[in-house]
Chain A
Amino acid sequence: RKEVEQDPGPFNVPEGATVAFNCTYSNSASQSFFWYRQDCRKEPKLLMSVYSSGNEDGRFTAQLNRASQYISLLIRDSKLSDSATYLCVVTLGAGTALIFGKGTTLSVSS
Chain B
Amino acid sequence: SAVISQKPSRDICQRGTSLTIQCQVDSQVTMMFWYRQQPGQSLTLIATANQGSEATYESGFVIDKFPISRPNLTFSTLTVSNMSPEDSSIYLCSVTGGESYEQYFGPGTRLTVT
Q: Which residues of A contact B (CB under 8 A)?
A: 31-32, 34, 41-46, 49, 87, 91, 93-95, 97-98, 100-103
> Roughly how many angstroms separate A3 CA and B42 CA in the complex, as a whole number?
12
Report whether A98 and B43 are in contact in the complex, using a CB–CB cutoff of 8 Å: yes
Chain A interface secondary structure, helix, strand, loop or mixed? loop
Interface residue tally for chain B (C-beta within 8 Å): 25
Binds A, one of B13-21, B65-73, B81-89, B99-107: B99-107
The one of B30, B58, B110 in contact with A95, judged by C-beta atoms closer than 8 angstroms, is B30
The one of A32, A49, A95, A100 in contact with B31, judged by C-beta atoms closer than 8 angstroms, is A95
Q: Which residues of B contact A (CB under 8 A)?
A: 1, 30-31, 33, 41-45, 48, 58, 92, 94, 96, 99-108, 110
Which residues of chain B come closer than 8 Å to A103, judged between CB atoms?
42
Shortest beta-carbon distance from A77 to chain B in Å: 26
Which residues of chain B come closer than 8 Å to A95, judged between CB atoms?
30-31, 96
> Roughly how many angstroms separate A42 CA and B105 CA in the complex, as a whole number?
10
If A43-B92, A100-B42, A101-B42 touch, does A94 touch B99 (CB 8 Å cutoff)?
Answer: yes
Report whether B102 and A46 are in contact in the complex, using a CB–CB cutoff of 8 Å: yes
> Roughly how many angstroms separate A34 CA and B48 CA in the complex, as a whole number?
20
